[in-house]
Amino acid sequence: MLQYVFFETLDMVVDRVLQWMRLFNRIQCKSQSLSHCSLPSKCALFVYLQYLFSFFCSFLRTSQKFITPCFLLFLSFVASPMRFQLIAGLALILLLLVAVSDCDAVRLKPPARGKAASKPQTQTQTQTQTQTQTRAQDQPLEQPPQQRHALTECDRSPDESFSAAGARWYKAGNIDAAIQCYGDEAKENPTLGSMIQLGQALLVGQRLNDGEAILTQALDEARKAAESEPDALRPASAGGKLMATIHHSLGKVSYLKGQHQEALGHFRNATLLDPANAEHSLLLASIQASYGDKKSALEIYKRAILLNPKSVLALTNAAQLALELGDAKSAYDYALRSVKIDRTNTLGFINLGAALRRLQKHKASSEAFDKALLSNSTNVHAIGESIIAKMFLADHDAVEQRLPELRTLLLQQIRHTLDALENRAITGSDQTQKALQQLAVPPFNLMYFDIVPEILRDYSAAFAAIESRNTQAIRYKLAAARIDDLHSLSPSARSALSQQRIHVGIISADFYNHPTSHLLYFVLSQLNKDRFHVTGYSTSPYEDAWTEKMRSVLNGGVVSVHAMSPAEATARIVADKTDILLDMMGYSSGARPDIIACKPAPIVASYLTYCGTSGSTEVDYTLCDRTTCPSKLVPSFLIERVVTLPTGLYPPAWFRASEVYPPAPEDVVAKKTELGLPNDGAFTFCSLGPIFKANKSTVHSWIRILKQAPEARLWVIAHPNDAAANFRRLVAEAQVEAQVILTPRLEREDFLEYAPSMCDLFLDTLPYNAHTTASEMLTGGLPVLTQAGQTRCGRSAAGMLSSASLDQFIATSAGLYEAMAVEFATTDAGRAKVLAARRSLLAGRTALAQSLTRDADELSPDAFDDVPRFFNVPQHARGLEAAFETMQSRYLRGLKPIDFEVTESDLQDAEEKAHQAKHASTSDDRTATARSEL
């Protein structure tokens, strides 16, 4: 026992001393180059001592008990200087004490159980092995810190079995020694249990191929045994549980090797063979969720919760999936149960906060995120969500206080994530997956903050890289098929293909009564249906009358992919022969980046509603305009190739035929009275988006404007309600509360019809502009004042104003923004500019209404000549068609995506094709009518 005490103490001392030396070495050499750390510096001396200690430890463990004292005796006489003599002398004394004991060799403390006899297993032994393997399978596939030794045989005590020695070495972190012992056990006693132990140890040692071979052999042996005795491996039996353990381990191997379907098959088998083991269900659900089959994964988590109602992991993951599937109520229930069980469950509190936000309970949501921070103060996800929650409450001081920390952590997390992805590709480390979980704040949520564009761009790229890793098998298979198909085509075949109808897909969560559908409707109705076959792919569970309205203008209809996995959705999009897929969601609510990462179409482009970069190398283009995406700023916030549309990116919003002209003055007065707005003729500013979009800088600008224009009013929508209280406090502190009117949200119809007529100028926000709302206001005849920022989401309103020929309403700084607002409100010249802008917008609205209600042959060619280009919906459609033609042409010629601009000549060509298609369709209709009459 003295040897055991001595070497256990020596191990502990060596480990602690080496840790101290490494730390000291980093401190001493952190700011020095390697040339400054040469001998006899403290840095090099500590490195030298590190090797000396390691040598002593290894030498003493492998030498005989009398050779070592002789060596130390010799060293104590010849060593120099004195400190080495002292060390050698002390070591000699300790070793002499060890040598007088009765033990033969240096061993760790042996276990109490002796070596098991080599004989056939009884049912009891099988059950014991099954329990042992069930515990072993829970070991993460992450190699523990280990000391590698070149072993040729199992290092064990005489009364210790190979299996017990392997378990001891495994627990001590010496995986090589454990593998050697388990291997010897498998040779001496080749049972399923010994083979499983060896296979799992090989996996932990990251010898995947060797481990897979052993486990596959074990699986074959189990199947052979089942042929002679079928009941031995029935579900829930001891043999069935053992078989489940094999499938469980093989599933991990397949997952780490990127063999997705094989992994799912193994985990399904493990679940069927051992249904009472929740761990099998948890891993199966996790794998299915990572592959995008979230609906099935949630059902599996529900079964796991029934098996173990207190499983924090199952409850937490179920809450997360329920959120992703749009079921906020269920997500709230699961998350609340998980944090009641474990008050330190950071992700549980994050899920709880997210569910409460979806349920419009923003104050409670903020409190949940704060509790997440209490459990883990450095979690990037928790910090980001906490700041967002404060933003929803308009708690500007709290936002500004934590924003610098968020910027710093984002930079760190970007580097950490990219390193983790690289590490996972090489080693298959499960620890990497834990690192990736921190990268969970959608890039869309960060756009509301004043963050450097390059950080948002790189964060989006890291975010996209995770989805790319999960779907690489699907993507590579499709890419290979497309390359083969393309290379097999002759030039004449490619030319013929270029003349065929182009299939365009649009993936969106907003194919229902949503502002985005209102933007799309007019443009889609004007597309050349003979040349373009357009299909909508809905990622939302919602459908209503507007869904049918959208189907009427999409000749491919609207297909729901909400409940489809990435593989299923990709298969559907491929089956539809989609040439170009437009992604409208990016990373916003309802987005499916997992589908986009599969590259379901040869060409993928982002369009319209998502105003940031996808960060994905699978997205080829983004459609934009000169003002929103100027060439000098594009590299800082986009990685896609930019297609510049001459008519601007945003089209006018849909309006009813009855709303072509503004409502009658008496109706406007009645509506203003109903809402509590003044009817005294005072100049009225408005900002009718969510109040949280106005950050502290924007709110202070509004306060300064009101102070310089004391007769003016500011109309703001009190949404969310929790934020309105903080906004009221700010304006009260500034003593301008008498000039501010907060009203509840308007019904959609009232908003579109009356809002533009009840105020004089719309004040935009920064860093996140009004997008759909700005288009609706301009369509309704209300000018918008904006400050152009440095990001795409901060320049969208400027793009619309430029398209509407209202560049005089674009400010380039906060000071100019305030000065222009004051001028428009207080001077005759300013009010004249606003009035002229309103007339121009209303003329454009009238021209648009006429173009949509008359036949193309009856419409005057110069119908849009005297109105802003923003309203020329047919030309918006021609611009998209020209962009599609160029994208498709380059792809068929085997050319890479590039930045390009749709020219006026391109518009004319598209217009000519649309005109020819219109006349051909009319001629066919007349022929069909004549035939029916005959």
CA distance 698 to 766: 7
Domains, the chain, ordered by start: 156-276 (1.25.40.10), 489-647+872-909 (3.40.50.11380), 665-870 (3.40.50.2000)
The dihedral built from the CA positions of residue 820, 821, 824 and 827, taken in this order, carries a sign that is negative
User: Tell me: the pLDDT tens digits for 833-858?
Assistant: 999 999 999 999 888 887 776 654 44
How high is the pLDDT of residue 422? 63
- Res. 189 pLDDT band, cuts 50 70 90: confident
How high is the pLDDT of residue 18? 45
How high is the pLDDT of residue 136? 32
User: Tell me: the pLDDT tens digits for 433-451?
Assistant: 444 455 567 888 888 888 8
Provide the token pair at 148: 């590698």
- Res. 35 pLDDT band, cuts 50 70 90: very low
How high is the pLDDT of residue 834? 96
Angle in degrees, 0-180, between the axes of helices 873-892 and 828-853, rounded to the nearest 10: 70
CA distance 528 to 856: 13
Beta strand spans in 563-683 (E): 580-583, 603-606, 621-624, 641-644
What is the overall mean pLDDT for the chain? 78
- Res. 5 pLDDT band, cuts 50 70 90: very low
Provide the whole-model pTM: 0.72
- Res. 273 pLDDT band, cuts 50 70 90: confident
pLDDT at 715 over 60: yes
- Res. 366 pLDDT band, cuts 50 70 90: very high
How high is the pLDDT of residue 89? 60
Q: Which is higher by pLDDT, 724 or 152?
A: 724
Q: Which is higher by pLDDT, 475 or 315?
A: 315
Across 335-362, average pLDDT: 93
CA distance 709 to 568: 58
How high is the pLDDT of residue 689? 87
User: Tell me: the pLDDT tens digits for 568-579?
Assistant: 899 999 999 999
Across 342-368, average pLDDT: 92
CA distance 704 to 762: 16
Q: Which is higher by pLDDT, 701 or 67?
A: 701
Q: Of 139-143, 332-336, 677-681, where does the model show the most confidence?
A: 332-336
CA distance 101 to 403: 65
User: Tell me: the pLDDT tens digits for 618-640?
Assistant: 999 999 999 999 999 999 999 99
pLDDT at 932 over 80: no
Residue 153 near residue 177 (C-beta atoms within 8 A): no
pLDDT at 866 over 70: yes
Burial class of residue 358 in the structure, from the number of CB atoms within 10 Å of its CB (0-12 exposed, 13-18 middle, 19+ buried): middle
How high is the pLDDT of residue 23? 42
- Res. 760 pLDDT band, cuts 50 70 90: very high
Provide the token pair at 679: 């009817």
Nearest to 413 by CA among 468, 465, 350, 344: 465
Nearest to 555 by CA among 532, 571, 575: 532
Angle in degrees, 0-180, between the axes of helices 208-228 and 192-204, rounded to the nearest 10: 160
For the chain, what percent of residues have pLDDT higher than 90? 35
CA distance 645 to 629: 10
